[in-house]
Amino acid sequence: MPVISEKKLSLPAQIFAETMTDKKSTGFDVEESFDRAESYIHENKKSLTIILVVAVLLVGGYFAYNQFIVKPQQANAEKQMFMAEYYFKNDSLDKAIKGDGNFPGFEEIISSYGSSKSANLAHYYLGVSLLRKGQYDDAIAALSKYDAEDDITGAIALGCIGDAYMEKGNKEEAMSFYKKASDYDQNQFTAPIYLMKQAMIFELNNDYKSAYDIYNRIKRDFPNSTEARQIATYMARAEAHMN
């Protein structure tokens, strides 16, 4: 039987020592357990080796894919999309969408660099461009594929879908997306814009009480916004129709 030192042991060490000294009473045989483990490994050596190799390949494959495919693709996509963004900012929408013959437009960026961040952003630009051109269904489709990378464009994408539905005469769907846009991020820029659009729909539906409540919310929660500067006028108009 092993001799246990009188020196105070840590709790894990005490447990291990007690197990060793009392293995007959507990029925636990350390050597037997090691033998069984060694036997299992020997019998299943081939399967365990395959599992290990697969795990290594998966980790290494992901690293290689990210390092040698995704990153170079993203860098190239950014270079290619430069002119499309330039045309977008200058309202040359056809060239922004289709390209100019030398540089690709947003459609080709999406097609050629589908897994890149630039292709994702191209969905946003494409959707807004199509909305400006009056192609509302296509705009909704493009904007719905955008995976927002920041709060501002995320809210604007939802709001633009609302605009597209509004242009199609679907006030119910427009209201739904304006609500999503205003709730997406409670900032002083986008939230009041899409609250105002909700109030507009309420007024179109002659629901001036709901419109007034939204105007009051803008006054209370977003006092530094551009919309808050003229909010008293809108509140007075809505209140006049309520009486």
User: Cα separations (Å) of 33 from 12, 29, 43, 90, 208?
Assistant: 19, 6, 15, 75, 79
Centre a 10 Å sphere on the Cβ of residue 186 and count the other Cβ atoms it contains.
Answer: 13
Summarize pLDDT for 132-157 with one digit per residue, the tens.
Answer: 999 999 999 999 999 998 899 999 99
Summarize pLDDT for 156-184 with one digit per residue, the tens.
Answer: 999 999 999 999 999 999 999 999 999 99
User: Cα separations (Å) of 216 from 182, 183, 192, 197, 209?
Assistant: 15, 16, 11, 14, 11
- Residue 87 domain boundaries: 65-147
Whether 54 is in a domain gets the answer no
Q: Do 186 and 142 share a domain, yes or no?
A: no
Domain count, the chain: 2
Q: Do 126 and 75 share a domain, yes or no?
A: yes
Summarize pLDDT for 20-50 with one digit per residue, the tens.
Answer: 444 444 444 555 555 566 666 566 666 666 6
Whether 29 is in a domain gets the answer no
Tokens describing residue 123: 């969905």
Q: Do 238 and 186 share a domain, yes or no?
A: yes
Whether 82 is in a domain gets the answer yes
